[in-house]
Structure 1
Amino acid sequence: MQAPNVIGGVRLPDGGGKTVRLRRGASLSDFAEKINADPAALVQALFNLGEMVTATASVPEETLQLLGAEINYVVDVVSPEDEDRELLESFDLQFGEDEGSEEDLERRPPVVTVMGHVDHGKTRLLDTIRKANVGSGEAGGITQGIGAYQVPLTIEDRERRITFLDTPGHEAFTAMRARGAKSTDIAILVVAADDGVMPQTVEAINHAKAADVPIVVAVNKIDKPEAQPDKIRGQLTEYGLIPEEYGGDTMFVDISAKQGQHIDELLEAVVLTADAELDLRANPEMDAQGLAIESHLDRGRGPVATVIVQRGTLRVGDSIVVGDTFGRVRRMVDEYGNDVEEAGPSRPVQVQGLNGVPGAGDNLLVVEDDRVARQIAAQRDARKRSAQQARSRKRVSLADLDAVLKETSTLNLILKGDNAGSVEALEESLLKIEMDDEVELNIIDRGVGAVTQTNVTLASASDAVIIAFNVRAEGKATEEANAEGVDIRYYTVIYRAIEEVEQALTGMLKPIYEEREVGAAEIRATFRASAIGLIAGCMVESGKVRRGASVRLIRDGNVIADNAKITSLRREKDDVTEVSAGYECGMVLSYPNIEVGDRIEVFEQVEVPRT
């Protein structure tokens, strides 16, 4: 038995059970540097374990842990959150904590996410609250991005404010709804009184519970004759949402978003829940921290990020880093398009001045100057690329090397969308499409904004299709796409894109063929002709025999030849194309070793549709 530090003859240092911390997407060179080993030795060791990886390629987490276990090291792959915290600590920064003492903390408005099943009235409810119609401008009436809005209200003669997040309702936006729940204080669950608990209703409940967020239930559409609010209460008890009138602690409010009924009671329920269950305070005097809720590329304004300030105050002129982008706050506007100079806790604003489009859900930090912002963004960007490479790299083992070397059908895609959340949701939905092993989906690039010439050039070089979601191609890009024959598909509703890609992948599958029996004959005599060779004198017993058809030759129950051909077929002295059952014929087979008594089965391969 080999020592734990010898793999296939390659000697490596014995870790003695030590823990090695590696970042996501680390390479074997990174691992070798941590344990004072030769990267080439790790490459060889992994090869002997059945994995082929170069020294500088990003390696998946499980592969690193497998190799570590073999040489007696415990590999601890740092989580994205820990990695980011360590990065910020190296710059003497912290995210997620209020600075100062208790006296510095002030009450802030609750951030509320409206969640629920598609077509249950989430956007109509927000429209009613904001007295503005957003839904009519959405494709298919489905919210396609995340918006943030703050509304004032008066409760017990005191002015209060609530910040609302509008998260998309279509099932493909699960990731976006999940992110909405994680950036919120309270969730309003909208359930239609005439419809009941649906799959996305359950999803929304799970997202809110996972984020440990209190839920207020809005039973909508009570104006409809078929509405059954009590039935909804009964259904939701199965998911742990017990109404207060049933002895539980969840507030239920019956509303009609269309008629504007009981909207004030719903807002009051939100504020009461916030006051009773949450300690919503923040220090407005510290440097701002927050989250990018959505972002997009505006032709006139450049990258625009919708952010919610969680603590501190964001001011025009601040140096900020948002995810792997950085910049200086050049301008801020509120949800009505008005310029604002500063934004305090729970305030949603659109920020201009970043060098790129951040990802939805990226954290925002104010730092001391542009240099620090640039350094943090650069390190985050490098880390993100490594993790992405490790995730997208197709693992090749010795066992499946033969299959990999064979020709496979791959659909390459480039995704462009109007905002970061839509692109992320589209990518996640496409990658979830169930595919046969024969075809592969490969997303080679994704981005926010119009389709550019660079996208078309990349698509041309890699035989990719460009999926454009709520964006169009620029003039020159369209010309180049036409000249190069690049296919650009435009969509405004996400599930149509998913549907068409699924159909394309199905079309790329190699056809399935099924064998069907055509006829059978028995060899009754054999004749030798010098010009032709051995001729089989046959009686056709069933079906038909055809010239050029595939045949199986059976002798004493054993298959002698499994794919021979009928090269010549005669009926008496005439060449014929086929002979039916009950008639005699002479045939010459491509397989010459025939005997009297052999049975000939004629078959054909017929393409069958995939189910």
Structure 2
Amino acid sequence: MLMGEMATLTQTLSDDTIELLATEFEREIEIVSASDDDEQEVVFDDSEAEMVQRPPVVTIMGHVDHGKTSLLDKLRETEVASGEAGGITQHIGAYQVHHGDDTITFLDTPGHAAFTAMRARGARVTDIAVIVVAADDGVKPQTQEAIDHARAADVPIIVAVNKIDKEGADPVRVRTEMATIGLNPADWGGDTEFVDVSAKTGEGLDDLLDTIGVVAEIQELTANADTEASGVVIEARLDQGRGPVATVLIQRGTLEIGDPIVSGPNWGKVRALIDYTGERIEVAGVGDPVLVLGFNSVPSAGDLAMVVDSEKTARTKAEERDTRLKAEAIARRSGRKFSLEDVFKRDRAGEEMKGLPLILKADVAGSLEAFEDEIAKLPQSEVLVDIVHSGVGGVTESDVMLAAASQAIIIGFNVRPVGDAARVADHEGVEIRSYEIIYRALEDLRDAMEGLLDPEQVEETVGQAEVRQVFRASKVGTIAGCYVTEGRIRRNGKVRVVRDGSVVNTTVIESLKRFNEDAREVATGFECGIVLRDFQDIKEGDVLEVFETRSVDRELK
């Protein structure tokens, strides 16, 4: 109530409110959401002896017309031509390619938003990101966006320079442009692998697969294959003939027909498994993308799917999670995950946060550059403004999901949310701020950065007393008979014992009396008796300086 929130006994509070209450009551708390439960459950105690090598999971990303789909199609054709897989009769959002003795799983996700949605829900799905850039076109806004999403997911990046067979292709220009945004080619002394390919002729595909194999080998990807299955839902839909179907990437264990399975608030029994070739299978192993039939409703992309011991357990877990998710949705509406006003509160609650992550969107490139230049001028010696992503155009769902994954604030300059971006932002608890005047945005940013600065500890002298006589008492120890020369002496106040100009001890006033009565404080010109905590060596002539420290908010300089 003191915080201005009239909450009833059965009302759900926001995470920020709970954290502030915990700070007030000096209690340590850990807020666990339903999605956090998923993250904790995927941490299994598997021994080294149980681990086997698993295929790397690769996501191909890039600008819309730089040849992502063509590259994926060419890899599929190569696989079919090798005779190791039948014709692709059904698209399930993921497939596998065999290269020598290695198997590589490719995710054919709908776009960057889905890629980051999985990370926003805590699902570490992708092991390697391949960024496709056309050799005749160079780096484009969506290329930069793809790189931002890959970096946010903290996965190794391989750059595939596509369309090298086209007239005007300049792979060196692509390398130069990528180097300017922090992806330095390995053959130039950097740490990012670049591979020249042609999705049309198939040139360089073997080199790309070899490079993926090398990067995967460095990561030492292993999993326990001989246990109950668990994995991540890549995509899901409601099929008219078969009901809810979900593409699950198996990350651990073996999935069989008849297994009871739970994914978020959804549960079921595996009725059928379909592999990436469209064939029905009985068993799916580690690294396999498989279409699962049998859920009671459609799961969400990024949710953990795992086998449990019985259908009853699956139903119970799903219902519990459904209840909690509904409660969390109510809490999200009452308190956003992160906003500029929260910055100072979160710092007070003890959260280490010395960076202010932002996503910037503007109506034109000139405005965006001016905005970024002004932000760069803000003092950033102690608090760093981290621009996670910037771009021209309205605020999209992709921007919102990236903000949710990075705990960033979206700042728009003369732009508004488009499509379902506002609804998704409300659901994910992401703040979108729109400005028409650049200086108002900078003022708000400056205020937020000042909220992140460590407050300065200022010391103030409250009072001073001179020890004129020392008494010894068997029960309480040494009593200093004092005369207050300045200010006020307060019980439980911090005090320095000064002798001949040197501080001999710093302690606390444990007892303060006027005559025989306990006193809360004693003013200038009065006498009093003082007992210090854990210090008995008081001498006549000592000076007791009572002081207090307080935190003062600092300003950016």
User: TM-score range, shorter-chain basis?
Assistant: 0.5 to 0.7
The structure with more radius of gyration: 1
How far off is 1:72 after superposition? 4.6
How far off is 1:71 after superposition? 4.6
* Mapped pair 1:288 → 2:234: no
Q: Secondary structure at the match of 2:326?
A: helix
Give the structure 2 partner of residue 206 of structure 1: 148
Give the structure 1 partner of residue 11 of structure 2: 57
Paired with 2:168 and 2:207, the residues of 1 have a C-alpha distance of 23
Question: How has the CA–CA distance of structure 1 residues 227 and 53 changed in structure 2, closer, same or farther, with 3 Å as cutoff?
Answer: farther
Question: How has the CA–CA distance of structure 1 residues 146 and 386 changed in structure 2, closer, same or farther, with 3 Å as cutoff?
Answer: farther
- Aligned-residue Cα RMSD (Å) equals 3.6
Give the structure 2 partner of residue 130 of structure 1: 76
Give the structure 2 partner of residue 265 of structure 1: 207
* Mapped pair 1:322 → 2:263: yes
How far off is 1:385 after superposition? 1.1
Percent identical residues: 48
1:31-110 maps to which residues of 2 (within 5 A)?
A: 45=1, 48-78=2-32, 82-84=36-38, 94-97=41-44, 99=46, 101-110=47-56
Question: How has the CA–CA distance of structure 1 residues 123 and 98 changed in structure 2, closer, same or farther, with 3 Å as cutoff?
Answer: farther
Question: Of residues 360, 368, 389 in structure 1, which corresponds to 2:309?
Answer: 368
* Mapped pair 1:389 → 2:350: no
The residue identity in structure 2 corresponding to 1:194 is D
Give the structure 2 partner of residue 347 of structure 1: 288
1:188-203 maps to which residues of 2 (within 5 A)?
A: 188-203=130-145
1:109-508 maps to which residues of 2 (within 5 A)?
A: 109-131=55-77, 147-154=93-100, 159-169=101-111, 175-176=116-117, 182-275=124-217, 277-393=218-334
Q: Secondary structure at the match of 2:154?
A: coil
C-alpha contact 2:15 2:335 (8 A) present in aligned 1: no
The residue identity in structure 1 corresponding to 2:280 is D
Q: Secondary structure at the match of 2:210?
A: helix
Paired with 2:423 and 2:194, the residues of 1 have a C-alpha distance of 45
C-alpha contact 1:116 1:189 (8 A) present in aligned 2: yes
- Residues 321-348 of structure 1 show CA distances to partners (whole Å, capped at 9, x for unaligned) of 1122111111000122110111111000
C-alpha contact 2:52 2:225 (8 A) present in aligned 1: yes
Paired with 1:305 and 1:173, the residues of 2 have a C-alpha distance of 14
The residue identity in structure 1 corresponding to 2:131 is L
How far off is 1:284 after superposition? 1.4
The residue identity in structure 1 corresponding to 2:231 is G
Question: How has the CA–CA distance of structure 1 residues 353 and 81 changed in structure 2, closer, same or farther, with 3 Å as cutoff?
Answer: closer
The residue identity in structure 2 corresponding to 1:366 is V
Question: How has the CA–CA distance of structure 1 residues 223 and 442 changed in structure 2, closer, same or farther, with 3 Å as cutoff?
Answer: closer
The residue identity in structure 2 corresponding to 1:61 is D
- Residues 188-232 of structure 1 show CA distances to partners (whole Å, capped at 9, x for unaligned) of 111111222223322322332333322211001112222221111
Question: How has the CA–CA distance of structure 1 residues 124 and 441 changed in structure 2, closer, same or farther, with 3 Å as cutoff?
Answer: closer
Paired with 2:269 and 2:397, the residues of 1 have a C-alpha distance of 25
How far off is 1:165 after superposition? 0.4
C-alpha contact 1:193 1:222 (8 A) present in aligned 2: yes
C-alpha contact 1:222 1:229 (8 A) present in aligned 2: yes
Paired with 1:435 and 1:237, the residues of 2 have a C-alpha distance of 32
Give the structure 1 partner of residue 551 of structure 2: none
Paired with 1:69 and 1:199, the residues of 2 have a C-alpha distance of 43
Paired with 1:239 and 1:426, the residues of 2 have a C-alpha distance of 19
Q: Secondary structure at the match of 1:182?
A: coil
How far off is 1:185 after superposition? 1.2
C-alpha contact 1:319 1:370 (8 A) present in aligned 2: yes
- Flag structure 1 segments of 5+ consecutive residues without an equivalent: 1-44, 87-93, 134-144, 396-422, 447-611
Paired with 1:239 and 1:435, the residues of 2 have a C-alpha distance of 27
Paired with 2:179 and 2:202, the residues of 1 have a C-alpha distance of 26
Question: How has the CA–CA distance of structure 1 residues 190 and 441 changed in structure 2, closer, same or farther, with 3 Å as cutoff?
Answer: closer
Q: Secondary structure at the match of 1:131?
A: helix
The residue identity in structure 2 corresponding to 1:111 is V
Paired with 1:188 and 1:255, the residues of 2 have a C-alpha distance of 12
Question: How has the CA–CA distance of structure 1 residues 205 and 228 changed in structure 2, closer, same or farther, with 3 Å as cutoff?
Answer: same
Scaled by the length of structure 2, what TM-score is found? Answer: 0.56
Paired with 1:114 and 1:335, the residues of 2 have a C-alpha distance of 17
Give the structure 2 partner of residue 530 of structure 1: none
Paired with 1:383 and 1:327, the residues of 2 have a C-alpha distance of 19
Q: Secondary structure at the match of 1:112?
A: strand
C-alpha contact 1:322 1:365 (8 A) present in aligned 2: yes
- Flag structure 2 segments of 5+ consecutive residues without an equivalent: 80-90, 337-395, 405-409, 428-557
C-alpha contact 1:146 1:165 (8 A) present in aligned 2: no
Question: How has the CA–CA distance of structure 1 residues 52 and 182 changed in structure 2, closer, same or farther, with 3 Å as cutoff?
Answer: same
